[in-house]
Amino acid sequence: MSKKHKILIVDDEPDVVKVVSYRLEAAGYEVIVAYDGKDGLVKVKTHQPDLVILDLMLPHIDGITVCAHIKSDRRYHHIPVIMLTASADLNNKKLSEEVKVDLFLNKPLEVENLQIQIQRLLAHKRDDYDDSLKELGG
């Protein structure tokens, strides 16, 4: 039996967390939740998720800063990050690209599309891992 992929959801909107968690757990993922950026960073380090779903506007530390910390740490930089926002500000998208967000999605969220994108990012991550093993002779 293959291991469940761990997905960390960092969002301060309980309704979003509830709906997304429910759908992802039903799809077979292990879901970890944080309601602010500071706790999100702690949970990245303690749980080492396979993917992070991150809200842009969070209490304590915003999503851009959280992503920048994840992507600048060589222990976690490989973790795909999906940034969610209700903001239409194009500057936020530009900032997200600068901190190497893997995917930028607008709210309201289409959960079916989110699930498709998660599968795509996890498959891409697995392919990158397989390629790095080949380079190492594994």
pLDDT(131) > 50: no
Q: pTM score, two decimals?
A: 0.87
Q: Which helix (H) or strand (E) holds 36?
A: none
The pLDDT of 85-100, averaged and rounded, is: 77
72-88 pLDDT, tens digit each? 999 999 999 999 988 76
DSSP letter for 59, please. S
Domains located in the chain, CATH noted: 6-135 (3.40.50.2300)
Q: Which helix (H) or strand (E) holds 41?
A: helix 37-47
DSSP letter for 27, please. T
The order of strands in the sheet holding 51-55 is 30-34, 6-10, 51-55, 81-85, 103-106
Beta carbons of 81 and 104 less than 8 angstroms apart: no
54-72 pLDDT, tens digit each? 999 999 999 999 999 999 9
